[in-house]
Structure 1
Amino acid sequence: MSSSHERNAPKRGFKPRPHGRPDRPSEKASEDWLWGLHAVEAALVNPARTPEILYLTADRAKTLSGRFKTLPTHEIVDNNRFAQLLPASAVHQGIALKAPLLEPADLTDFVAEPGAVLLMLDQVTDPQNVGAILRSAAAFGAKGLVLQDRHAPQFTGTVAKAAAGAVERVPTARVVNLSRALEELSEAGWRTIGLAGEAQDSLADSLDGSAVVIVLGSEGEGLRRLVAEHCDTLAKIPMPGGFESLNVSAAAAVALYETSQTRRRA
């Protein structure tokens, strides 16, 4: 198997990353674009967001008017306009928002309380998978997500759409070096567990109710050697069906479920 894997609000609020770039309608999906109903609605109610402009179809504007007393600066457009603004693959549902990126969290924001869970992604780069992992992290009450800055997608566009609003709920730290981040988290009281198919112990048996970081590797390569060596232990998700591996986002959901069961039993 390749490595699989109550406070949802951050300790400190996310802050928008300042920038002064003008809106360029002809520019295809810059790093500042969100699209899809759940992703945009969640951003609109996040006080840390400072939307620049909201694009809506007439039908979508009608549905939002019943849920929002006021909307940020917005423009009613048709699908041809969305085709100019967004990638052809964007499932925008008649809504798109241009807003600055959220400021990443810091590792020191994550407090190692009993039962707390963090996820760390080791070069998981597929936007759909990362979005699905964020969604599971929000659903199971993970304290946050840690990933490498250079080998991870920005939380806009496809990631935000797949996360269905979880981008606004899950604090995320971007670090230069995952091994050093694991050292820092260990010193702060976190127990670190890497998911690896070759591990001897199951994840369920490895959980003890302490604050834990679950580390998941990329689907092709799994955990890199140095990252695995910096984990306190390695564990596997048993698969009695005999199938070789789980998609990394499915593995993350299973791992989060296991941690939730451990909290219930504590």
Structure 2
Amino acid sequence: MKPPHGNRPGGSSRPPSDRGPYRGPGGQSARPPGQGPRGEARGGHGGGPGGARDGQKPRHDGPRYDGPRPGGKPSAPRGEFQARAPREEFKPRPPRDDSAPRPQRDAAPQRLSAPPQRQREHDGGRHTPDAPKGTVWLYGHHAVAAALANPARRLRRLLLTEEAEAAISKHLPPPWAVTPEKVDRGRLDHLLGRDVVHQGAALLADPLAPPSLQSVLEKEGVIIVLDQVTDPRNVGAIMRSAAAFGAAAVITQDRNAPEETGGLAKAASGALEKMPLLRAVNIARTIIALKAANVWCIGLDAGGKPLSGPAFADRRVALVLGAEGEGLRRLTRETCDEIAGLTIKGAVESLNVSAAASVALYELSKR
């Protein structure tokens, strides 16, 4: 019977001659007495003398390289035994302490500038205190005292230090609509934030309900329209100036404008409780509605002619101011009746929007 061949089913892929010169019964390799496993007594890679198989040349005639392999660990010389490194002793993992803080993953990179619709809550880089849904924390002596004196404001809690209670009592003697709670400054710092100048007074209240445009038109005075003014401190300062010069109301955009916050109320210094604050969905359509009510709309821009108060002595006026840095938008500018500017003779080219509103209101008060 012929041995199996690589070209036949069940045969080996190697020719019969590669199986060594020593063949025993049953196809098993016969080794001479005292010889170990296959290949130990051979001089080379083959089974014949000199390490070559029958009819074949040695695979390598030059000196053998036993050095380290490229990119790997050095191997032990052939024929030498390399002991395996002893395993490290098993050390049980210590129990996890759930009370210890866990390491936080790297946060996503912060945006250099947030979209306008997400800037409604920023408070000039300051901490915005947390308040229950539908409420707002007001702080500062003037803001808290004005809110306590406003019957339209729904009050929730009043936190006062001993010094703040004495200072507010001079402006508004008790009793008040809500009973004060005595606290220390540390508790207010924890509640409102250490960077908030609360003056030891904090009042939790509901936001004021905005009036209608029709109710504003029935009042006398200049109407101020803010086109995407996003800084709450600027809005609060404009409301304070508007109250000082007898304006009728302040109108802001519903989306790209700050909500009623403690920072806005403190910058307004009590004017938030006295000056109506409206929110319009579309500023251009609001200007059109004002023009339909015989209100002359003046857009304030540096490129316009100098603003003159006596020139509008017989007209109802609305003053339109643009955002910080960008100014009036194109559609807002085109919707206004005219564009006017302020005469600046100093070294600066422009003013902050709240400062420009104060100068313009003073000029219009000369009518």
2:192 match: 86
In structure 2, distance between residues paired with 1:222 and 1:105 = 26
TM-superposed deviation, 1:65: 4.0
> Any idea what SS the aligned residue of 1:52 has?
strand
* More displaced 10-residue stretch of structure 1: 223-232 or 70-79: 70-79
In structure 2, distance between residues paired with 1:79 and 1:252 = 35
In structure 2, distance between residues paired with 1:159 and 1:80 = 23
- Indicate the structure whose relative CO is greater, using CA pairs within 8 Å and at least 6 residues apart: 1
1:55 match: 159
> Any idea what SS the aligned residue of 1:193 has?
strand
1:46-105 alpha-carbon deviations (Å, 9 max, x no partner): 110111000001222233345323131321111121122213321100101000000112
**What fraction of aligned residue pairs are identical, expressed as a percent?**
48
2:210 counterpart of 1:109: no
In structure 1, distance between residues paired with 2:253 and 2:277 = 10
1:64 match: 168
Which AA in structure 1 matches 2:138?
L
In structure 2, distance between residues paired with 1:75 and 1:53 = 8
Contact preservation (8 Å) 1:144, 1:172 = yes
Match of 1:99 among 199, 202, 205: 205
Aligned pairs (5 A) from 1:15-34? 28-30=129-131, 32-34=136-138
Aligned pairs (5 A) from 1:247-262? 247-262=352-367
2:253 counterpart of 1:148: yes
In structure 1, distance between residues paired with 2:169 and 2:272 = 23
2:146 match: 42
The gaps in structure 2 that reach 5 residues or longer are 1-127
> Any idea what SS the aligned residue of 1:246 has?
coil
TM-superposed deviation, 1:112: 6.3
1:229 match: 334
2:124 match: none
Distance 1:242 1:84, change over 3 A: closer
Contact preservation (8 Å) 1:131, 1:160 = yes
Corresponding residue pairs, total: 234
TM-score by length of 2: 0.61
The gaps in structure 1 that reach 5 residues or longer are 1-26
Aligned pairs (5 A) from 1:153-168? 153-168=258-273
Contact preservation (8 Å) 2:141, 2:168 = no
In structure 2, distance between residues paired with 1:241 and 1:59 = 43
> Any idea what SS the aligned residue of 2:365 has?
helix
TM-score by length of 1: 0.83
Which AA in structure 1 matches 2:306?
S
2:275 counterpart of 1:170: yes
Contact preservation (8 Å) 2:159, 2:180 = yes
In structure 1, distance between residues paired with 2:169 and 2:335 = 51
Q: Would you tell me which structure has more helix in proportion to its own residues?
A: 1
2:308 counterpart of 1:204: yes
Bigger Rg over Cα: 2
TM-superposed deviation, 1:127: 1.6
